[in-house]
Amino acid sequence: MADIRVERDGSVLVLTVDRPHARNALAAGTMAELDDQLAVLADRDDIRCAVVTGAGDRAFIAGGDLKELESSRDEAFGIRLARDMRATLDRIAALPIPVIAALNGAAIGGGAEVAVACDFRIAADDAGIGFTQALLGVMPAWGGIERLGSLVGRGRALYLLTSGRVLSGAEAAAWGLVEEAVPRERFPARWRELAHAVAAAPRHTLAGIKAAMTAAHPGSRPDLAEPAIAAFARAWAHPDHWTMADALERARRAARQGS
């Protein structure tokens, strides 16, 4: 079974991360599937807009799937993980068409990085977005730090990155982290309406707009990649990361048992 469902809706392509048992967290296979889909999208002349979303209404993407990834705790694995996924998300900026993140639920950690890598975002007002990596003793390494800073400014970005605060969709809209937040009951129809409004323009027009915007405001910064990847890999391999991850998992289990 594929982790990503692909749906063609006229000139819109919808990529849905569909791992409900893991709150749509990204396993290694999911990351590879996303990379494959974005790679072929560059040559799809029949597509004028793409949407990335999550299955269900609980999670957009709940970060990386630590239950799968924790078997490799060394620095070399951390480097590969960060480098590969950063390259995947950098594909979005290079695409000639807009890519929308439709935040149907929690975009946490790596999920928040996927969201800000997209060209713009629409959220259900009760969804959440948070860069919670510091709570696990690591840091964003997929380009999320510089993208977040470009969206909300240095101070607010550092506040979110170091505190791990999760904003609701409505709060994220007020901060400029998402472009639109809508009530839950309207959300599925509204993101499709928005995607089709974008796809109404000719592909060459969309490509020209995006290219001009990218020249003025780059959507990726490959020149910043290596120091961030190295810092992430050191943090990934550090015992603090795994101690904090274990403590968080125990707290989540206790909360589930008490509910």
| Contact present, 133 and 150 (Cβ < 8 Å) | no
Residue 27: pLDDT band by 50, 70, 90 thresholds?
A: very high
Strand partners, 167: 129
For 221, how many CA atoms within 13 A lie in the half-sphere containing its CB? 18
User: Which one-letter DSSP state was computed for residue 223?
Assistant: G
The per-residue pLDDT for 257 is 79
Please state, as a whole number, how many other Cβ atoms lie within 10 Å of the Cβ of residue 246.
12
C-alpha 220/C-alpha 146 separation (Å) is 8
Please state, as a whole number, how many other Cβ atoms lie within 10 Å of the Cβ of residue 174.
12
pLDDT tens digits, residue range 179-208?
A: 999 999 999 999 999 999 999 999 999 999
Residue 90 has which token pair?
Answer: 């950098």
User: Which one-letter DSSP state was computed for residue 133?
Assistant: G
The per-residue pLDDT for 259 is 61
Give residue 56's region: left, alpha or beta (phi > 0; psi -120 to 50): left
| Contact present, 237 and 73 (Cβ < 8 Å) | yes
Q: Give the CATH number of domain 4-186+197-205; options: 3.20.20.70, 3.40.50.1100, 3.90.226.10, 3.50.50.60.
A: 3.90.226.10
pLDDT tens digits, residue range 56-110?
A: 999 999 999 988 888 889 999 999 999 999 999 999 999 999 999 999 999 999 9
